[in-house]
Chain A
Amino acid sequence: MRRESAVGRGRGESRWVGVFMSLTGIPLLVVAGFVAVVSAAMTILLWSRFGRWRFVVRTLGVLVTEVLVVLCVGLVANRSEQFYPSWSALAGDTGTETATAPTLVGELDGTLAGRSTTTWEPPDLKSWRLAATPTVTVPSEYSPAYPAADSRPYPVLVVLGASGVVADPVPGVVMVTLIPTRATNAQALRTLLPSLRRAFRVTSDRWALVAGAGEVTLAGRLVRALPTQFSAMALVQNAPKPFTAALGHTPAGTAVAVVGPVKPSGSSPKLPSTVTVLTTAAPKAWRTAITWTTAHLSPPLAPPLVLPTGKTE
């Protein structure tokens, strides 16, 4: 075992202590064992000396020997199991600082004060070829009085298509509504991520996606183009026959639902078993889709406590 020289040395320990008297090293074990043997021998040698004081000497000798033997057993156990690989570990020092993840601020956070909805014109808007300028809707607690003490990044709900019913802020998410055209391309839309993260205080992943019936193909392509981005996707249907083409190869990490007056049985095409079917009347479908997808997201959380990630390669 070479760990006494390689690791197990605390920052505050001298090299001598680290190399020769490592808590898990042989030298310490030898010293402890030697002292235990000496203690036992002394106890036996002095057993009948010291007259009336011999009872005290005997008792102390037995107790000290017992403590030393227990210590040796403990050192052997600690050496094999690495409970405390170093003296500093024994002292409870981990040599590691828990940090708080950096606080995010969106460039446009300040422009939102008092408003829940704003139009958003990012630099790469043209490449998305949308039918209208995107709108961003935030709940009232997002910016009570900017700059607010609350620095929580919000999960994102991306809405593809004109819903007509989702103008109200959705609790606990930043909602961005995009009205695509036939020319809108999922690969180009990938820049939505960095653009939105720059402009608003949003999480880097675990987003949700809701798409209208006309946008299911684009939605399917978008989740495939960003396979680790969306925790949930709901496709709003307006006919009993669900549109399944978009559902073929969605990323495993994206939960998928079709919502609307869908009848999953009978003549309709077979849906993958992983797809959730939420049968609801058409007017309620958008609301249901938003509730279902956002339930997969965490609430806005303060920047987490984090540890160093370590090297894994």
Chain B
Amino acid sequence: MNLAGTPLLITGLTAVVLTALLIAVTWERGGRLRVVLRTVGVIAALLSVTVTVLVQLNRMTEAYVDPEADSVASGTESDESEPDAAEPELSEPDSASTTSTASARSTIRAFKVKGKASGLTLSMYVYLPAAYGTGNQRFPVVQAAHGYPGSPRTWLKKLEVQSVLDAEIAAGRMAPTVVLFPFQTPRQLLDTECTNMRGGPQTETFLTVDVPAFAKAHLRVRTDRAGWGLIGYSAGGYCATSLALRNPTKYAAAASMSGLAGPGIVVGDGKEHTEHNVAWRLQHMPRPAMALWIGWAKDEEKIRRDSLLIARAARPPISLTTAEVERGGHNHAVWRQMEAPAFNWLSAQLGRPLP
């Protein structure tokens, strides 16, 4: 069953009502076992409420999903038997989002990336613009990082990224671009913040070595720095700026929507507040020539404070663009508003599709 689906929520709500009814009806019953029966009823009620709340939270974030049994691809599963996915199956485009002409449509494809450098094998969705289907152009690439809790499906479902990209490309505000949506953790409860965790998953290596190598080997994309950028929301915003600054020879630009300056987890190398902190890096380490876009909501104090720290430290040769949403906090409505401007900006920073 889909962990973020409506059927599971209805099941949970039904369980909540039934357990309440169970307590009400059986309170005086059970004779000598009455206490046991009451206890069981109360525990069942608490459990059902807790689980239902968690299911609803998961529906809101699309965080815990089974990438193998996935509904983004309209029932098409990624190819499990071929971990390299050299010839992955083509997924149907999201029904809610198509380009204006029926013949030229963008597609979302699912891949399994077997990371040789990191040892991680994780799923990745790929947005292929409508223009990918014709000609032999090599496209610029944007790598999109998701938040925590979250998953690439949050981009696809909550931020409706396919229809946003379709609209921006059709309007000419973006060049046709391939966008990658890799998973960022092998265990969905583990927040990696896109780092190489001491004694844990080597996520930074996976995202900055294995994912680009896979894309360059299997997709018609640009292979040079000028054609690669990063974007992310929330924890993914931190991922975008941090990964770009840590790998300035691989990425030319990064856009962070409501990202913190630091990882907020224990990476294990003792550098959480120094080399893993974007503001600290910009202040204390040689700044690479790179374009950064930092967006925040004015009423979200922590993110705003960190964004301003980053903005003030982002002196040349960093080229900085900022964006402020008047209010909205830390949620999808804010990121929906930032999404198109951030992608527009990224496309202007990156090199064009090459013939």
CB-based contact B333/A304 at 8 Å? no
CB-based contact B24/A55 at 8 Å? yes
A14 contacts partner chain B, Cβ-Cβ < 8 Å: no
For B, the interface residue count at a CB cutoff of 8 angstroms equals: 63
Provide the residues of chain B in CB contact with A305, threshold 8 Å.
168, 173, 340-341, 344
Chain B min CB distance to A64 (Å): 10
Cα of A18 to Cα of B261 in the assembled complex, Å:
30
The residue from A58, A86, A98, A294 contacting B24, defined by CB atoms under 8 A apart: A58
Chain A min CB distance to B261 (Å): 14
Provide the residues of chain A in CB contact with B45, threshold 8 Å.
62, 66
CB-based contact A252/B226 at 8 Å? no
Interface string of A277-313 (1 = CB under 8 A from B): 0000000000000000011111101111111111111
A231 contacts partner chain B, Cβ-Cβ < 8 Å: yes
A94 contacts partner chain B, Cβ-Cβ < 8 Å: yes
Provide the residues of chain A in CB contact with B334, threshold 8 Å.
94
Asked, given contacts A70-B49, A298-B349, whether A62 binds B299 with beta carbons under 8 Å apart, the answer is no
Q: Which single residue of chain B is at the shortest CB-CB distance from A255?
A: B226
Interface residue stretch chosen among A76-84, A126-134, A177-185: A76-84
CB-based contact B312/A307 at 8 Å? no
Cα of A255 to Cα of B317 in the assembled complex, Å:
13
B3 contacts partner chain A, Cβ-Cβ < 8 Å: no
Provide the residues of chain A in CB contact with B72, threshold 8 Å.
none
Provide the residues of chain B in CB contact with A84, threshold 8 Å.
329, 331
Cα of A62 to Cα of B302 in the assembled complex, Å:
37
Interface string of B211-249 (1 = CB under 8 A from A): 000000000000010100000000000000000000000
Cα of A51 to Cα of B289 in the assembled complex, Å:
78
CB-based contact B27/A47 at 8 Å? yes
Chain B min CB distance to A311 (Å): 8
Provide the residues of chain B in CB contact with A55, threshold 8 Å.
21, 24-25
Chain A min CB distance to B182 (Å): 24
A121 contacts partner chain B, Cβ-Cβ < 8 Å: no
A27 contacts partner chain B, Cβ-Cβ < 8 Å: no
CB-based contact A66/B20 at 8 Å? yes
A187 contacts partner chain B, Cβ-Cβ < 8 Å: no
Provide the residues of chain B in CB contact with A232, threshold 8 Å.
226
Interface string of B43-69 (1 = CB under 8 A from A): 001000100010000000000000000
Chain A min CB distance to B277 (Å): 18
Chain A min CB distance to B312 (Å): 6
CB-based contact B327/A10 at 8 Å? yes
B330 contacts partner chain A, Cβ-Cβ < 8 Å: yes
Taking A95-B326, A308-B324 as given, write out 5 further A-B residue pairs in contact, using a Cβ cutoff of 8 Å, ordered by the A residue number: A58-B24, A59-B24, A295-B226, A295-B354, A296-B226
The 5 closest A-B CB pairs, nearest first, are A310-B324, A58-B24, A252-B289, A304-B344, A253-B289
- Partner-B contacts on A (CB < 8 A): 3, 7-8, 10, 47, 54-56, 58-59, 62-63, 66, 69-70, 73, 81-86, 88-89, 92-96, 98, 150, 152, 172, 203, 206, 227-228, 231-232, 251-255, 294-299, 301-313
Between A and B, 11 residue pairs with Cβ closer than 8 Å are A70-B49, A82-B299, A89-B329, A94-B297, A95-B326, A228-B319, A305-B341, A306-B323, A310-B322, A311-B324, A312-B311
- Partner-A contacts on B (CB < 8 A): 16-17, 20-21, 23-25, 27, 45, 49, 53, 168, 171-175, 224, 226, 288-289, 295-303, 308, 311-312, 316-317, 319, 321-331, 333-334, 337-338, 340-341, 344-345, 347-354
